[in-house]
């Protein structure tokens, strides 16, 4: 069942975080739905600009509608990840997405406000909520690369002003994470003092943590042992993710970890079965392994086991 993104946030806020998982193909969709249904967790399925053009945006939409029928127990929202203004408007017009992210964080504060406000004005009359971004994460996003030294943590005072000026429904904040598999060179981690101060200024306002993959070290080792080159890959500590999930970080974005599962499964499958040329055997393993990963992650986020409570909340 597709439900409004902001309803999921209302239920989760301060108690747990909703996992927002990126998808690109059918195997990811199947693994994702299985993992969430098996762990009884509400979730957000998110689609980036790159994902929309990888095969075709209509194909993704059709796969999600089909998965909704295959898994009638699933409760989820559909979100555009890292949209520009034109893509946000396209998703709003499509009527399929329950929320969009407008990412104008690389613009000046004033420009970011103006662009975000235009998207909010188009989205709200249709009941679609808007995630905006303030501050700059390190790492690579599709349309912008930010060096670690140029990454800027979100200023809590600006965050308060930004939310009031734009009317956005959730805010992606730079709190120490970055996109991709190489997040930290040492023992750096989340800036809880920034999360606390933003929450103090914006009580009950859902925050979004991008770059939340934990880059499991056993996964990295297995990838390297099967021919990969991912030396030094490092992600966010899961204990820190759990702590943030109870502090108003209500949406936790994960893409890289899913790619690592895919990479490990396929590298090992072709290493161990060099005579195989069929896509289905590794595909089947991937769907099962990705579902297992999602189940585990939902326990970390606290969303596992929330499905009955969410349904009661939505009906009440
Ligand atoms: O934050 C970006 C997400 O990981 C999506 O990545 O733009 O390569 O699909 P993508
Ligand atoms: P990761 O690269 O840590 O998985 O972050 C994904 C993300 O933020 C998607 O918007
Ligand atoms: Zn992101």
User: Can you tell me the mean pLDDT for 136-148?
Assistant: 61
| pLDDT exceeds cutoff 70 at 143 | no
Cβ(162)–Cβ(109) under 8 Å?
Answer: yes
Residue 140 C-alpha to ligand 2 middle, in angstroms? 10
Catalytically annotated residue among 81, 169, 255, 257: 81
Q: Which numeric CATH code is attached to 5-214+232-255+298-315?
A: 3.20.20.70
- Alpha carbons 97 and 107: distance in angstroms, whole number: 25
pLDDT tens, residue by residue, 36-90: 999 999 999 999 999 999 999 999 999 999 999 999 999 999 999 999 999 999 9
Cβ(212)–Cβ(252) below 8 Å: yes
Predicted TM-score (pTM) of this structure: 0.96
Inter-residue contact 241 to 212 (CB < 8 Å): yes
Q: State if residue 212 touches ligand 2 by the CB under 6 angstroms criterion.
A: yes
Query: What is the structure's pLDDT at 231?
Result: 95
C-alpha span between 148 and 154 (Å, rounded): 14
Identify the nearest ligand to the CA of 21 by its number.
2
Short-list 216, 200, 208, CA closest to 18: 208
Residue 144 confidence (pLDDT): 56
pLDDT at residue 267, rounded to an integer: 98
- Summarize pLDDT for 288-314 with one digit per residue, the tens: 999 999 999 999 999 999 999 999 999
CA distances from 49 to 23, 64, 79, 86, 261 (A): 11, 16, 11, 11, 22
Which residue's CA is minimally distant from atom 3 of ligand 2? 211
Helices 280-301 & 256-272 angle (0-180, nearest 10): 150
The enclosing H or E element of 270 equals helix 256-272
Domain ranges of the chain: 5-214+232-255+298-315
Which 8-state DSSP code applies to residue 138? Answer: B
Distance between CA atoms of residues 6 and 308, nearest Å:
18
Q: Which residues contact 130 (CB under 8 A, 6 or more apart)?
A: 88, 99, 100, 101, 102, 116, 119, 120, 123, 124, 168, 169, 170
Among 129-133, 138-142, 282-286, name the one with the lowest average pLDDT: 138-142
Ligand 2 within 6 A of CB of 295? no
Q: Is 255 in the pocket of ligand 2 (CB under 6 A)?
A: yes
Atom of ligand 2 nearest to the CA of 215: 3
């Amino acid at each position: 069942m597709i439900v409004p993104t902001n309803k999921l946030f209302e239920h989760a806020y301060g108690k747990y975080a909703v996992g927002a998982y990126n998808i690109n193909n059918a195997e990811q969709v199947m693994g994702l739905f299985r993992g969430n249904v098996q762990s009884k967790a509400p979730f957000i399925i998110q689609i980036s600009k790159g994902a929309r053009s990888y095969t075709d945006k209509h194909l993704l939409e059709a796969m999600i509608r089909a998965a909704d029928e295959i898994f009638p127990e699933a409760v989820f929202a559909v979100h555009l990840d890292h949209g520009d203004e034109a893509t946000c408007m396209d998703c709003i017009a499509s009527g399929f997405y329950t929320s969009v992210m407008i990412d104008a964080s690389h613009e000046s504060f004033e420009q970011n406000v103006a662009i975000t406000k235009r998207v909010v004005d188009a989205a709200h009359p249709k009941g679609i909520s808007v995630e905006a971004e303030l501050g700059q994460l390190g790492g690579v996003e599709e349309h912008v690369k930010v060096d670690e030294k140029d990454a800027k943590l979100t200023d809590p005072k600006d965050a308060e002003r930004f939310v009031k000026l734009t009317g956005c429904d959730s805010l992606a904040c730079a709190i120490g994470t970055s996109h991709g598999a190489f997040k930290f060179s040492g023992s750096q981690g989340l800036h809880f003092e920034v999360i606390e101060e933003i929450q103090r200024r914006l009580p009950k306002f859902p925050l979004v943590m991008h770059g939340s993959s934990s880059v499991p070290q056993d996964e990295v080792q297995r990838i390297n042992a099967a021919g990969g080159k991912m030396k030094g890959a490092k992600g966010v500590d899961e204990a820190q993710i759990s702590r943030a999930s109870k502090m108003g970080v209500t949406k936790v974005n994960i893409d890289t970890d899913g790619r690592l599962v895919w990479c490990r499964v396929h590298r090992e499958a072709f290493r161990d079965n060099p005579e195989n040329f069929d896509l289905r055997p590794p595909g089947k393993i991937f769907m099962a392994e990705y579902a297992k990963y999602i189940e585990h992650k939902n326990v970390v986020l606290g969303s596992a086991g929330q499905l009955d409570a969410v349904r009661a909340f939505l009906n009440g």
